[in-house]
């Protein structure tokens, strides 16, 4: 029982520590809102809570250099989607900066009060009273059950069903009680329906075609804000939710997410005051923000790791090996050809450190791991052994095919573009030609139906950032489990490496099927070692979150387990 209390009440042990959270009774106040936008975007007519001494109002603009493809938590994978939807949609519980679960739409279940059964197979959620969706419709236990049923409907191409697929039943004895019964122990149970997902509104989505629903762009939520307009390529506008359960929150009237082309546009618009907050400052330009009068750069530790992802397949079929990466010697040679020092020291100004694991922070982050040493001579020897030889122009060939590899990352990020150039030179030094082909984030991360490059296997190397939430079980499963390889039909899952390993699958499963925290750590260490040994995931460096704030914006606070907007209901503007 003690171990269960430790696991579920304080599921993560992290280095950061602060406090957060708010709540209150529901009260509806309405007034006529100003027009949300002009142009060709999706627009809805809405009402907004009137400013008061407790809720001073105001409009804040956030610069966003990636436009989300959608805001559905079970379809989207972009961080740009999450920083918006987290203001609108809520889960049953949330995470505070110290790595503790805190109430959101439900009290936090625990073994101590009996809402987690002794065997861990039954979790009871007592929902917060008086919560409504932004249209005034009551939020009830039926919405939680509907969310599970929607995720488990194979007609819906959700990103993953992991965890939800071991739920045997959900009972709703009344509107405020949800009883979730599992067919087997699932240790990270509290992450379900919560992080990074949310609860879906049954009254909006019932009967709708999930992948095409208007909800995916204009979601109905229970959070402090609601999306009132999306003008593609221009802006996404969120207004204060007049039906939010705490009538004194949010403090702002409106947040405008302004879609801008790149970091340089963010620099210019922060200087002129056209944007108040710039999300995800590139390390290569951080000094320009730091040197601006009246601007503060918030540096927040995170579990995110910048890495290179290698495609083991020729296209999407894991049975068809990649012409080069099908040979483990080539993958090892690639890792040995990388010198991280100029990337970290020259491009990141020493603001980061080399990463050695896909789990960059938290209780499951393994210690004592190391990357293959930088060894160009060793890399050349491995390539020679694999049959790749230089015919005289500096680029190796085998069976008449040049060792030419393409790398892709989202456009508009200077450090990544410069990193690609560093890698290009380092790979050329061992006889590998690296061709840079960067694309918009929506193209790289698009789903199967959208012909996303990663989902469809239309890439050799991807440079990306990803990291786990409080519990790494879902992250490891969706990104590395063999069952998560996206294939036709549907393309569910995000194991775009096309990595298949029985030992890895077992370690991931073992980590999610025990309440013994030390046993979970051991299982995830095995999983991480398997991932690194496979050579398809090459960690580059740990990524802190860098966000720039105009000093007139107050109320924000860092949270390693949340996005920059995690407490935006507390933000206000000093004019």
**Claim to verify: residue 236 and residue 324 sit in the same structural domain:** no
Q: Is residue 400 part of a domain?
A: yes
CATH number at residue 518: 3.10.105.10
Q: Is residue 285 part of a domain?
A: no
Concatenated DSSP letters for 13-60? --S----------------BPPP---SSSEE---B-PPP-SSS---EE
Residue 501 CA to residue 530 CA, distance in Å, equals 8
Residue 279 CA to residue 269 CA, distance in Å, equals 12
**Claim to verify: residue 424 and residue 460 sit in the same structural domain:** yes
**Is the Cα dihedral 464, 350, 336, 406 positive or negative?**
positive
**Claim to verify: residue 196 and residue 258 sit in the same structural domain:** yes
Length of the chain in terms of residues written: 575
Burial of 334 (0-12, 13-18, 19+ CB in 10 A): buried
| DSSP secondary structure letter of residue 136 | S
Residue 216 CA to residue 219 CA, distance in Å, equals 6
Q: What is the predicted pLDDT for the residue at 59?
A: 97
Q: What is the predicted pLDDT for the residue at 497?
A: 97
CB neighbourhood size of 66 (10 A): 23
Q: Is residue 297 part of a domain?
A: no
Peptide bond just before 480 cis, omega within 30 deg: no
Q: What is the predicted pLDDT for the residue at 18?
A: 29
> Does residue 254 sit in helix, strand or coil?
strand
Phi-psi region of 163 (alpha: psi -120 to 50; beta: other; left: phi over 0): left
Considering its fold, how many domains does the chain have in total? 2
**Claim to verify: residue 136 and residue 40 sit in the same structural domain:** yes
Q: Is residue 299 part of a domain?
A: no
**Claim to verify: residue 249 and residue 180 sit in the same structural domain:** yes
**Claim to verify: residue 474 and residue 565 sit in the same structural domain:** no
Residue 153 CA to residue 164 CA, distance in Å, equals 11
Residue 389 CA to residue 336 CA, distance in Å, equals 17
Peptide bond just before 535 cis, omega within 30 deg: no
* Paired tokens of 169: 């039943």
Q: With contact defined as beta carbons under 8 Å apart, do 20 and 557 qualify? A: yes
Residue 109 CA to residue 127 CA, distance in Å, equals 10
Q: Which among 170, 166, 191, 167 is positioned nearest to 179, based on CA atoms?
A: 170
CATH number at residue 92: 3.40.190.10
Q: What is the predicted pLDDT for the residue at 50?
A: 54
**Claim to verify: residue 193 and residue 269 sit in the same structural domain:** yes
Residue 280 CA to residue 83 CA, distance in Å, equals 11
**Claim to verify: residue 411 and residue 494 sit in the same structural domain:** yes
Q: Is residue 294 part of a domain?
A: no
**Claim to verify: residue 404 and residue 491 sit in the same structural domain:** yes
> Strands 59-64, 277-278: parallel, antiparallel or unpaired by DSSP?
parallel
> Does residue 119 sit in helix, strand or coil?
coil
pTM score, two decimals? 0.77
Q: Is residue 288 part of a domain?
A: no
Q: Is residue 300 part of a domain?
A: no
Q: With contact defined as beta carbons under 8 Å apart, do 334 and 538 qualify? A: yes
Peptide bond just before 144 cis, omega within 30 deg: no
Phi-psi region of 386 (alpha: psi -120 to 50; beta: other; left: phi over 0): alpha
Q: What angle do CA 408, 62, 574 make, to 5 degrees?
A: 155
Q: Which alpha helices (DSSP H) does 279-364 contain, by range?
A: 286-290, 328-336, 341-342
Q: What is the predicted pLDDT for the residue at 54?
A: 67
Give me the tens of pLDDT residue by residue for the chain, a chain 575 residues long.
Answer: 333 332 333 223 222 222 223 222 222 222 222 222 323 344 333 334 455 556 788 999 999 999 999 999 999 988 899 999 999 999 999 999 988 999 999 999 999 999 999 999 999 999 999 999 999 999 999 999 999 999 999 999 898 898 999 999 999 999 999 999 999 999 999 999 998 899 999 999 999 999 999 999 999 999 999 999 999 999 999 999 999 999 999 999 999 999 999 899 999 999 999 999 999 998 888 889 999 999 999 999 889 999 999 999 998 999 999 999 999 999 999 999 999 999 999 998 888 899 999 999 989 999 999 999 999 999 999 999 999 999 899 999 999 999 999 999 999 888 999 999 999 999 999 999 999 999 999 899 998 888 999 999 999 999 999 999 889 998 999 999 999 999 887 777 899 999 999 999 999 999 999 989 999 999 999 999 999 999 999 999 998 899 999 999 999 999 999 999 999 999 999 97
**Claim to verify: residue 375 and residue 243 sit in the same structural domain:** no
**Claim to verify: residue 518 and residue 558 sit in the same structural domain:** no
Q: Is residue 412 part of a domain?
A: yes
What range defines the domain where residue 318 resides? 305-542
Residue 147 CA to residue 65 CA, distance in Å, equals 31
Q: With contact defined as beta carbons under 8 Å apart, do 94 and 21 qualify? A: yes
**Claim to verify: residue 241 and residue 321 sit in the same structural domain:** no
């Amino acid at each position: 029982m003690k171990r269960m209390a430790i696991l579920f009440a304080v599921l993560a042990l992290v280095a950061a520590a602060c406090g957060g959270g708010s709540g209150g009774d529901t009260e509806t106040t309405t007034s006529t809102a100003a027009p949300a936008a002009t142009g060709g975007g999706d627009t809805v007519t809405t009402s907004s809570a009137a400013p008061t001494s407790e809720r001073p109002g105001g409009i804040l603009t956030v610069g966003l250099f990636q436009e989300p493809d959608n805001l559905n938590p079970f379809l989207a994978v972009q961080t740009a989607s999450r920083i918006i939807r987290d203001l609108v949609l809520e889960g049953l519980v949330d995470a505070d900066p110290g790595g503790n679960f805190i109430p959101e739409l439900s009290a936090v279940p625990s073994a101590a009060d009996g809402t987690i059964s002794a065997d861990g197979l039954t979790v009871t959620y007592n929902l917060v009273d008086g919560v409504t969706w932004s249209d005034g419709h009551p939020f009830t236990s039926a919405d939680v059950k509907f969310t599970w049923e929607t995720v488990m409907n194979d007609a819906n191409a959700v990103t993953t069903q992991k965890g939800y697929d071991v739920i045997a039943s959900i009972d709703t004895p009344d509107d405020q009680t949800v009883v979730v019964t599992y067919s087997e122990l699932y240790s990270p149970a509290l992450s379900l329906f919560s992080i990074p997902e949310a609860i879906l509104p049954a009254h909006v989505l019932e009967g709708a075609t999930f992948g095409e629903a208007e909800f995916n762009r204009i979601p109905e939520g229970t959070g402090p804000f609601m999306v009132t307009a999306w003008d593609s390529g221009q802006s996404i506008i969120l207004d204060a939710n007049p039906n939010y359960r705490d009538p004194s929150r949010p403090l702002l009237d409106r947040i405008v997410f302004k879609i801008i082309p790149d970091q340089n546009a963010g620099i210019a618009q922060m200087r002129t005051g056209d944007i108040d907050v710039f999300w995800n400052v590139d390390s290569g330009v951080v000094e320009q923000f730091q040197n601006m009068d009246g601007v503060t750069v918030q540096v927040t530790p995170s579990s995110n790791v910048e890495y290179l992802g290698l495609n083991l397949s020729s296209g999407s079929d894991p049975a068809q090996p990649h012409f080069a990466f099908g040979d483990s010697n080539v993958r090892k040679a690639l890792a040995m050809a990388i010198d991280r020092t100029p990337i970290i020291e020259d491009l990141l100004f020493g603001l980061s450190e080399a990463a050695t694991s896909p789990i960059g922070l938290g209780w499951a982050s393994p210690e004592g791991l190391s990357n293959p040493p930088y060894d160009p001579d060793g890399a050349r020897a491995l390539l020679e052994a694999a049959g790749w030889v230089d015919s005289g122009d500096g680029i190796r060939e085998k069976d008449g095919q040049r060792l030419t590899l393409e790398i892709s990352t989202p456009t508009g990020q200077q450090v990544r573009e410069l990193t690609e150039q560093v890698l290009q030179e380092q790979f050329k030094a061992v006889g590998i030609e690296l061709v840079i082909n960067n694309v918009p984030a929506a193209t790289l991360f698009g789903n199967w139906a959208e012909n996303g490059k990663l989902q469809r296997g239309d890439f050799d190397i991807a440079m990306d950032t990803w990291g786990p939430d409080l519990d790494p079980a879902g992250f490891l499963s969706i990104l590395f489990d063999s069952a998560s390889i996206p294939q036709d039909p549907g393309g569910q899952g995000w194991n775009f490496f096309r990595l298949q390993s029985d030992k890895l699958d077992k370690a991931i499963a073992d980590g999610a099927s025990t309440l013994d925290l030390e046993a979970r750590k051991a299982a995830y260490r095995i999983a991480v070692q398997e991932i690194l040994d496979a050579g398809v995931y090459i960690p580059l460096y740990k990524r802190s979150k860098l966000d720039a704030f105009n000093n007139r914006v107050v109320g924000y606070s860092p949270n390693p387990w949340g996005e920059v907007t995690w407490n935006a209901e507390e933000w206000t503007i000093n004019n």
